[in-house]
Amino acid sequence: MKFIKETQDYLDNKTESQEADFNKNGKQVIKPTEKVYARILTKNSNKLYFIETYNNQIFDPIGINSSRKNLETKLKQVSKETFDFYLIYLQTKNSIYLTRANRRFINE
């Protein structure tokens, strides 16, 4: 998965707690005003993976609810595989990866 290898570069520092946030294009968030759709949180060499959800389903930033302004979305912890598929979807916009992420999310 060539798209996921890039995320390791963001987390190379050995600090106690570190975050890597990703926008709707699967790129690392630079501005603090950008919306976060995925996050990797590293605590004491443990990695926690979070993705954006709405109504307990994975949020699709280019889907039917993408134009709505006041959605109560939240980041939920998921497995690495679910996170990887979601991040690939954000980068490629290929819906098969969102489908795979949804299938894994349901089984968690």
Domains of the chain by residue range: 2-107
DSSP for residue 75: E
What is the model's pLDDT at position 2? Answer: 60
Tell how far CA 59 is from the center of its chain: 10
Give the pLDDT of the chain (108 residues) as one tens digit per residue.
566 655 555 555 555 778 899 999 999 998 989 899 999 999 888 999 999 999 999 999 998 988 888 889 999 999 999 999 999 999 999 999 999 999 999 998
d(CA 108, CA 91): 23
Q: Encode 40-70 in three state secondary structure.
A: EEEECCEEEEEEEEECCEECCCCCCCCCCCC
pLDDT for the residue numbered 65: 87
What pLDDT is attached to residue 60?
A: 93
